[in-house]
Structure 1
Amino acid sequence: MSLKSLFKELEKANLHLKKYNHVNKKALDQFLSFSEQKEKLYKRKEELDVADQKIGELMQSLEMQKVEAIQFTFKQVAKNFTQVFKKLVPQGAGHLILKTKDNDDDNPEREIENSDAFTGIGIRVSFTGSDAEMREMNQLSGGQKSLVALALIFSIQKCDPAPFYLFDEIDQALDAQHRKAVADMIHELSDKAQFITTTFRPELLENAHKFYGVRFRNKVSHIDCVTKEQAKDFVEDDNTHA
């Protein structure tokens, strides 16, 4: 082939190559780079999937521990409530109910996997000991509600005692028999906690260790440490003039 023919072939080849000017000449390098990034991302995703699975397992384990802790604590408080209420009301009976979303009270031992299933605590009591006369809080009188509330506080205190309790006239709506029962219960629990109470009734004074009298003189309140006899005279005098 002559030189002239070679130049013509070269010219044809160049014209043919011009058709491919729009082709990305860095495509191969970019493909290799993107392929490498793809592999890294796939590997990272696998690591994240493993981490997500472990986190899910941990959350499930913590949730089950939470459920077990709630059920364990409730069983303790419920047991204490039944015993405490029996001491406060010897002829009565009381029970705590752990409420759930499905309200299946007939099967309290069923397996619960999520703490969100718990909705609250129900209280059912009878002041006569008859199961047929079991009532809920909204069916009780003021004095009965006070007694149930105190039984619940004392039940929790047995599980997790606070250092001290401040009770303001908790015996106001109670009759003499129940006031004495409450006073005896406070005395029993006073070994593990300090109870500060205000009262206008004599029953809470019987087992107290320290007495303070509060009087209103010349438009000013005065508080003084008094003897047990002075405290009794004060409440008896107040009841006489009431």
Structure 2
Amino acid sequence: SRLKEYRAQGDAAREALYAARQTRDQADRAVFEARELQRAAERRHQEAGFALTTCANKIRELGDTLARIEQEIADDETRLAQARDELARLPADALDAELQQALTARTEAETALAAARDALEGLTAQLRRQDEARLACEQGLDPLRRTIEQLKLKDQEAMLMQSQFELQLREAAADEASLESGLADSPKPAQLQAQISRLQNEIAALGAVNLAALDELTQAQARSEYLAAQCADLLEAVTTLEDAIRRIGQESRTRLKETFDTVNQHMGELFPKLFGGGQARLILTGDELLDAGVQVFAQPPGKKNASIHLLSGGEKTLTALSLVFAMFKLNPAPFCLLDEVDAPLDDANTERYCNLVKAMSDHTQFLFITHNRVTMEMAQHLAGVTMQEPGVSRIVAVDVEAAVGMVEAA
């Protein structure tokens, strides 16, 4: 009966040993699969780290681009402030040039800003994808580590069970040769132990996980938020610049329209005085006030309305004088020099020209060079240059009013 008990214990030990070896086989397969999963996760994690570094470099480049755009906008704002200071004293041509420069600067700023915004959006999307991939890798590594630890525990349990079963077989005086022949096809414990050792070495060779990746990602996100704030500042600056350009354009149009209407009105008043009748006006040649040209139409008395190119020399002179005096009335100066403007005029037109000059002399002092007798008679003071000796000039001045008074007194 004791032999039967030993045999029963031997059979139970053989079955337990076989079950333990199957458990070890399953553990080996699980360790191998976990090792492959961990290796794939590590590769994905490394790729995510490389992509994160590339994204950080691109963000730094974008920061440099945004800094350059900020400097350009600061320069544009400086030029805009200078343009505002000079706006009151600039003529229409200079104002058009300044406005064109401002429009060109705005176009360049908009182009650079659009490129920076597109680059920032692309980098932000790429950074988000890399962050998601990194988090997925981190989440995938944790279960694999837990699985490996569990398999190690199971392997230790299997080895302990094997030792206990071998002890029971020796106590039961079981035939180990028959047991080994029955289990010849099964892997040897040494082989299994070698495989386990190899897997453990491979796991150790993996090294530590890059724990600094999370800090690097946080820094990259902070940099991204900083760049987003800078981009918002750029958008605000561009909006301010566009508003300033619109205000300058509107003010330029308003002032130019007021100036044009005033000069046109004054010309319409002065032209009949110089011609003894007729009419003249200024006409814009385009719809856009800042880009349009100005054409002069004059109709002397007794003639059809015609362009200034169809007038005679004297008529052109009087028309030009009416335009000059019209602008002079808009912004009169204390002094005006006229150089032989009466040369093409006959006596009647010269007399009307002199009457207009005399009427405007209440606010402006006129100095004119002339050889016309009628013009000289109108002057209050005469100054002539004579040359009694070759190479020697002498000035002779006459106070006309004093001379007339002396004649009347005599």
Residues 143-199 of structure 1: per-residue CA shift (max 9 Å, x gap): 111111111111011110122111111111001111011101111111111110111
Secondary structure of the residue aligned to 1:172 is: coil
Q: CA–CA distance in 2 between the matches of 1:36 and 1:85?
A: 72
Give the structure 1 partner of residue 277 of structure 2.
91
**1:222 aligns to 2:394 (yes or no):** yes
| Count of matched residue pairs | 216
Which has more strand, going by share of residues? Answer: 1
User: Could you say if the C-alpha distance between residues 32 and 216 of structure 1 is closer, same or farther in structure 2, counting changes exceeding 3 Å?
Assistant: same
Structure 1 unaligned regions, length at least 5: 103-111, 232-242
| 1:212–1:223 Cα contact (<8 Å) kept | yes
Q: CA–CA distance in 2 between the matches of 1:90 and 1:151?
A: 12
Q: Which letter maps to 2:299?
A: S
User: Could you say if the C-alpha distance between residues 17 and 152 of structure 1 is closer, same or farther in structure 2, counting changes exceeding 3 Å?
Assistant: farther
Q: CA–CA distance in 2 between the matches of 1:30 and 1:203?
A: 93
User: Could you say if the C-alpha distance between residues 216 and 135 of structure 1 is closer, same or farther in structure 2, counting changes exceeding 3 Å?
Assistant: farther
> Superposed, which structure 2 residues align to 1:199-238 within 5 Å?
199-219=370-390, 220-228=392-400
Give the structure 2 partner of residue 187 of structure 1.
358
Bigger Cα displacement from structure 2, 67-76 vs 5-14: 5-14
What is the TM-score with the length of structure 1 in the denominator? 0.78
Q: CA–CA distance in 2 between the matches of 1:138 and 1:172?
A: 19
Give the structure 2 partner of residue 41 of structure 1.
227
Bigger Cα displacement from structure 2, 7-16 vs 214-223: 7-16
Q: CA–CA distance in 1 between the matches of 2:223 and 2:197?
A: 40
User: What is the CA-CA distance between 1:127 and the residue it aligns to?
Assistant: 1.2
User: What is the CA-CA distance between 1:36 and the residue it aligns to?
Assistant: 0.6
Across the aligned residues of Structure 1 and Structure 2, the Cα RMSD in angstroms comes to 3.0
> Superposed, which structure 2 residues align to 1:67-216 within 5 Å?
67-100=253-286, 112=288, 115=290, 117-118=291-292, 120-128=293-301, 133-216=304-387
Residues 37-78 of structure 1: per-residue CA shift (max 9 Å, x gap): 001111111121112112101110111100111110010000
User: What is the CA-CA distance between 1:9 and the residue it aligns to?
Assistant: 5.7
Q: CA–CA distance in 2 between the matches of 1:197 and 1:49?
A: 58
User: What is the CA-CA distance between 1:89 and the residue it aligns to?
Assistant: 1.0
Q: CA–CA distance in 1 between the matches of 2:307 and 2:375?
A: 28
Higher relative contact order, chain-length normalized (CA < 8 Å, sep 6+): 2
| 2:333–2:364 Cα contact (<8 Å) kept | yes
Secondary structure of the residue aligned to 1:197 is: strand
Secondary structure of the residue aligned to 1:30 is: helix
Residues 126-155 of structure 1: per-residue CA shift (max 9 Å, x gap): 11255xx11222212211111111111110
Larger-Rg structure:
2
| 2:271–2:277 Cα contact (<8 Å) kept | no
User: Could you say if the C-alpha distance between residues 67 and 10 of structure 1 is closer, same or farther in structure 2, counting changes exceeding 3 Å?
Assistant: farther
Give the structure 2 partner of residue 30 of structure 1.
216
Which has more helix, going by share of residues? Answer: 2
What is the TM-score with the length of structure 2 in the denominator? 0.48
